[in-house]
Amino acid sequence: MSASRKIAFIGLGIMGSPMAANLVKAGHHVTGYNLQQPAIDALVAAGGHGATSIAEAVADAEVVITMVPADPHVLQVVLGEGGVLENVKAGTLVIDMSSITPQTSIKVAAAAKEKGVRTLDAPVSGGEAGAVEAVLSIMVGGDDAADFAEAKPIFDALGTTVVHVGPAGAGQTVKAANQLIVAVNIQVLAEAVVFLENAGVDLAAALDVLGGGLAGSTVLNRKKGNMLNREFAPGFRIDLHHKDMGIVTDAARAVGAALPVGAVVAQLVASARANGDGSLDHSALLRGVERLSGRTVA
C-alpha cells in the first residue's frame, strides 16, 4: 500500500462519494465536505472524516480533490470566497476531477500558481459503477510531471487506467472527446434497440451476441440492462451530458474540428433534456428514439 496522505475531498455526489470511500479503503486520511450532510455522514461511516466548511476540510490537507458538477462550481469552490485557494498552504496539490472546460482548468492552474499551489486537472470516465468498483479511467493534465508522479498512487486507488495526457487543461480536452464518443455510442445503441424491438427480435439475445463482436463496447455492457429494463436511475445524468456536449462543441470550434455526428447527438441530448429527461441516466436517450419512432413514452 502507498504511503497515507491527508486528503480533503470536496464534492461527495454520485461520483465523489464512492471515490472518497475508496481512498479511505486505500489507507488515506480523508476529510470530506459537501453541501448535503448525509453524504458527509456516509463518508464518516466509511471511516473518513467530515468538515463543516471548505476551510476546515483543507486546513491540514496535503492533497485537495474537487469533484463538482460544472465550471461555475469549480470556480466558486477553488477560487471563490472561503474557497480552496484562500485556505490551503503553499505547496498543496489541488486535483480537480470535475468535468469542465479546458479554459477553466487553465484559469484555475494560473490562479493557483500565483499562490504557490500546484494543480492537476484529472477528469474521469466510467460512471457511478466505475467509481464504486475503482476502475475509472483517469485522464490527467498538468504542467509538471513530478506532480503527476506524486498523485499517481492516489489515482491508482480510484482507477485502472491513469494517463498523463499533457499540460494544464489537456485532461479536460481528452474528457471532452470521451463524452463525445460515449454520447454517440449511447445514441446509436438506443437506435439499435428500437430497431431490434420493432423487428420482433429477442432483444436480450441480440444484445448478447452483438456484445461479443465488433459492435461490442463498454457502453453496451454497462447500459444494456438499463435499456432492457427501462430503468434509468442516474449513474450519469442527461443534464450533465448536455453540459459536456456543450464543452466539446465549443472546444472543437476553438481548434477548427468539425463534429457533424457529434453535433446531431448534442441536439438529441438537448431534446431529451427539453422533454423532461434531464435527471435520468444518459441511457434514457432511448426514450428520445422511442418518441421519434412514434411510441408513447411514459
Q: Which active-site residues does the annotation give?
A: 175
Side chain identity, residue 213 = G
Question: Which residues lie below 8 Å from residue 115, measured CB to CB, with a gap of 6+?
Answer: 85, 90
Cα-Cα-Cα-Cα dihedral sign, residues 73, 79, 83, 87: positive
Query: Under a CB-based contact definition with an 8 Å cutoff, are residues 84 and 64 in contact?
Result: yes
Rounded Cα distance, 223 and 151, in Å? 31
The three-class DSSP label of residue 65 is strand
Place of cell 453524504: 39
With the C-alpha atoms ordered 225, 226, 227, 230, is the resulting torsion angle positive or negative? positive
Phi/psi for 297 (5° steps) reads: -105, 125
150/62 Cα distance (integer angstroms): 11
Q: What distance in Å separates the CA atoms of residue 102 and residue 146, rounded to the nearest whole number?
A: 21
Write out the three cell numbers for 31. Answer: 476529510
C-alpha cell at 234: 442516474
**3-state SS assignment for residue 12:** coil
- The percent helix, strand, coil of the chain (3-state, each to 5) is 55, 15, 30
Distance of alpha carbon 165 from its chain centroid, rounded? 17
